[in-house]
Amino acid sequence: MKVLQVSNFFKPSFESGGVARSVYNISKGLSKRGHDVTVYTTNYSLRDVGVETNKPVNLEGMCVYYFENLRKYFPVKTPPVPYYLPLIIRKEIKNFDIIHIHEHRTLLAAIVSYYARKNRIPYIIQSRGSVLPFYQKESLKKFYDYLMGNKILENASAVIALTKVEAAQYEKMGINQDKIKVIPNFIDSCSCENIEKGKFRSKYGITDNEQIILYLGRLDKIKGIDLLVEAFGDLAKNLSNVKLVIVGPDDGYLSSMNQQINQLGIQDKTIYTGPLYGSDKFEAYNDSDVYVLPSRYETFPNTVLEAVVCETPVIVTERCGIADLVKDNMGLVIKWDKKSLKDGICSMITDEKMRNEFADKGKIFIRENLDSNIVAGKIENLYKSIIKN
């Protein structure tokens, strides 16, 4: 099959969040299965990614267009505006058997879906946590839906939900149940196999008798970092051998986080590394005793799967979209409040038997349910059924 993947973010812009990583995983997985994969994305990033723009780039056997956008002409933060895209897609659209659009409230999605409808090329929408117009810029999202978002969803051959919760959100947007397919994110269950134990601790001066509580992700208020720091502040009063390690790019919350850490007087027990990628990231997972994701809202966090394949048990709140997968399989699910989080972390790091059981069960669960081969096969079968019909 000739497949087009469409996403604002793609490798190497992994600091933008889990979408870039997920789209890369899907694209790479399909390419490995023998499909001809093209990616339309932008060079929009928090840093200079140094990619060639507005022309095809060969990336690991995939054809990738990094469309330059108008952001460099504006001094303020603007959404990606891929002005060169229409010139390319008008010529190439008929080359594709199917199109997979990730996040539908983007100009990329609007332009690609328009030409797909015009040329009768089937497309799939995967909203990735942004099905309903809520949280940030709610009014703007509703206006976008009124203009084009609803039409983009309605004309999709299918929509992919990461969880049952997200499937219900599609229904609220008026999508027929028959068009909704629940397919989770996936990860290579061998991702952590060649990672050296103790390397992360050595880099950051953490001793073997200190226990690491890890958060890895964007520094954004929605991630609940304030709750984690507050709970850790209480925990550190009773436990002397704990370290809170925070890893990730600043998305506007670093200053507030540092201020809170200073007010609680836990600077000596807290380490902020900045963003880590590749093996450096997996070294952090590998040396940690527990991974904590205290988000106010989360659909399907890749970081949870990454921690689990490194045999690190996890703690998520009941607001996490994969809480049902985590519970009894990968770690603990707790209420979104300080006491519950503190008690959950305390029980996990003081109970070695519990940690070992979740480490074993989690890796087996990933291998049997969320491994790259299994989930990529489901996506491939969905593509084939849509093209056939």
In this structure, what CATH number is given to the domain that contains residue 262?
3.40.50.2000
**CA torsion through residues 9, 225, 270, 304, sign:** negative
pLDDT tops 60 at residue 218: yes
pLDDT grade for 348, boundaries at 50, 70 and 90: very high
Name the token pair of 121: 């090329």
User: How many domains does the chain contain in total?
Assistant: 2
Burial class (CB in 10 A: 0-12, 13-18, 19+), 260: middle
Residue 192 has pLDDT above 80, yes or no: yes
Residue 75 pLDDT greater than 80, yes or no? no
In a domain, 52, yes or no: yes
Containing 286, the helix (H) or strand (E) segment is: helix 278-287
50 shares its domain with 38: yes
What's the Rg (C-alpha) of the chain?
21
Clarify whether residues 144 and 13 are in a common domain: yes
What beta strand segments (E) does the chain contain? 2-6, 36-42, 56-59, 62-67, 98-102, 123-126, 158-161, 180-182, 211-216, 242-247, 270-274, 290-293, 314-317, 331-334
HSE-CB for 182 with a 13 A CA cutoff: 14
Q: What is the mean pLDDT of residues 121-146?
A: 84
Q: How confident is the model at residue 138 (pLDDT cuts 50, 70, 90)?
A: confident
Do 228 and 150 share a domain, yes or no?
no
Range of the domain at 246: 199-370
Six-digit token string for 321: 């979209």
Q: List beta partners, residue 160.
A: 181
Q: Residue 77 — pLDDT band, cuts 50, 70, 90? A: low
Average pLDDT over residues 232-261: 94
Res 68: pLDDT: 87
| Residue 138: inside a domain | yes
What is residue 245's DSSP assignment? E
* 157 and 254 housed in the same domain: no
| pLDDT above 70: percentage of residues in the chain | 96
Same domain? For 361 and 382 the reply is: no
Contact 367, 329 (CB under 8 A): no
More confident residue, 19 or 269: 269
Considering the domain boundaries, does residue 191 fall inside one? Answer: no
Residues 120 and 14 reside in one and the same domain: yes
Residue 118 structure tokens: 């015009």
- Per DSSP, 93 falls in state G
Listed range (5-14, 189-198, 202-211) with the worst mean pLDDT: 189-198
Q: Do 377 and 366 reside in the same domain of the chain?
A: no
Pair (171, 90) in one structural domain: yes
Pair 170, 240 in one domain: no
Residues 221 and 341 in one domain: yes
pLDDT higher than 70, residue 78: no
Exposure string for 264-273, b = 16+ CB within 10 A, e = fewer: bebeebbbbb
- Here the tokens at position 33 are 């299965």
Q: Does residue 194 form part of some domain?
A: no
Choose the most confident range, by mean pLDDT, from 129-138, 145-154, 201-210. Answer: 201-210
154 domain residue, yes or no: yes
Amino acid letter, 25: N
Residues 151, 367: Cα–Cα separation, whole Å: 38
Mean pLDDT within 135-139:
72
Q: Is residue 193 part of a domain?
A: no
Residue 192 lies in a domain: no
Residue 321 binned pLDDT confidence (cut-offs 50, 70, 90): confident
**Residue 342, pLDDT score:** 96
Say how many C-beta atoms besides its own lie within 10 A of residue 295's C-beta. 21
pLDDT surpassing 60 at residue 319: yes
Are 182 and 231 in a shared domain?
A: no
User: What confidence tier does 171 reach under pLDDT thresholds 50, 70, 90?
Assistant: very high
Q: Is residue 20 part of a domain?
A: yes
Write down the pTM of the prediction: 0.83
User: Does pLDDT of 341 surpass 80?
Assistant: yes
- Burial bucket for residue 30 (CB in 10 Å: 0-12, 13-18, 19+): buried
Judge if 223 and 237 occupy the same domain: yes
Whether the predicted pLDDT of 15 surpasses 80:
no
Q: Distance (Å, rounded) from C-alpha 252 to C-alpha 342?
A: 25
